[in-house]
A and B are shown apart, each in its own frame.
Chain A
C-alpha cells in the first residue's frame, strides 16, 4: 500500500510539474496540432488521404524550420469512433496533450459538436473541411475559423456553371445522401435555382440512406421519369455506386449529370464515366489547376503525394494544406505584431481574423466579421485524356468567391432568395484542359 501511495504521489507531482505553464515569450519546443479526421467509416475516403497529406506537409514544414523556427507535431483523433470518443479525445488533446491549435473536422456533425467546445476551451480551431454554412452564421465565434468555403458558394458555383453551359432544361431530379450535407446542399441549390430559373420542375427528390449499397431502384425510377438534369452531392462509395449503376444502364447518357463534389471520385471511377458530366470540387481544387499547374512547387507536392499514397491529391488534401497555411500565416503575423517575439495564444487568435493565405489554389481570406473563409470555386466537365487512366476536367470555370458567398451577417437561404435570373450573367473565366 505504501509503495502504491509513493508511486501515486510521484505521479501527481510529475503531472503538476508538467502542467506548469511555459513563460509566454519563450519559444516552445514544438507547436502541437490536434487534427480530427476520419480514419474509420465511409468518410475515411477523405480522412485517410488528408492524414497522409498532414504528415507530408508537417514533415516538409519541419525540414524548412517549422513555424517561426518551432517544429510542429501532429496528434490525430478519429472522427469515425463515434461522438463520445470524439468529444472525450478532443478534450484530452486540449487539456492533457495541451495542443496549441486544432483542425476539426471533416463532418459538419463533428464541427457542430466541437466548435462550441473549442470556444468553451478557448482553443483556436480551424474548421478545415466541414461544409455546413449554418455553423458560422448562427453565432460569432472568437476561436473558430473556417479555412475554406462552405456549401453556399460551392453549390452556387455548380449551379451557375450548369445554367451557363446547359441552360435549356425543364425538369430536374436529385439523389443525395440522407444527412445534413445532402439535405442542406440540395436546399441551397434548389432555392437558388428557383430564383434563377423559376419554371424548372423537380420530378423526384430521392434521399437514400447514407452508405446505401444499392441504387438500382432509384436508377430505374429515374430512367422511367427521364429528368433533363440529375443533381447529386453524394461522395465516396455512395457516389461511385450510384454513378456506375447509372452508367451501366444508360442513365448517364439520358440525363445531364451534375456531380457537385465528384472531383474526389474521378480517379476511382476511371474510364467508367462518359465525357460531359459537370463536376465540382468544393473549392478551386484540382491537381491540374489551370493557374497553378506550371508552378514547380505545386507539381512537386502533387508528385510527392502520389508517390506516397498512389493517387493524385483530392480536395481534402488541399483543404488540409489550407489549414496549415492559415496556421502558418496566423503565427507569422502574430510574431511580427509582437515585435519578433513568440506570441501567446490570444495573440495568435487575434492574428488569424481577417487573414489571407495561399494553399494550392487561389488566395483564401478568412473574413474578419464571421471568420468564414472566402475560397474560389472550380467547376468543369469530364473529358478523356489518354495520358490519364481516368477522366479529367475540361472547360473549367474558376469563380471568384466574393459574389457567390453570402455577406457576413446574412443567412444563406435568405440571401439566396434575393438573387435573380441576372445572377447567372456574371463573367467567369473559362480554362481548357491542357491549355
Chain B
C-alpha cells in the first residue's frame, strides 16, 4: 500500500489519472497534507522524500541543501524520522556529501532529545 501526500489539488488528480493507466488505482491512496506534518495511525515501514529544488540547472556550481531546497529539508526529515527509521531521501547529484553528514547528525540529535 502506498500513501501519496500532496498539497496541490491539480497534481492530486494527476496521480489518480496516472495510476489508472498503470493499473494501480486501487492500491494508492492520496492524502492532502503538508510535508512537515504528515501522519498516519497505522504502522508505516518507510517514507520516501523527493525534494523540489530551485534553479537546478543554473546552480550547479553553488548548490546548498539548506537554501535551495523547498520546503525546508530539516523539518521534513525530522517528521519522517518520528514515524519510521527507514527513510529514502532523493537529492541532486552535485550535493556536497559533507552537508549530508551535517544534516543527518543534526536531525538525529534533535530526535534523541
Q: Do A and B form a real pair?
A: no
- Where the two chains meet, the residues of A that have a C-beta atom closer than 8 Å to any C-beta of B are none
- Where the two chains meet, the residues of B that have a C-beta atom closer than 8 Å to any C-beta of A are none
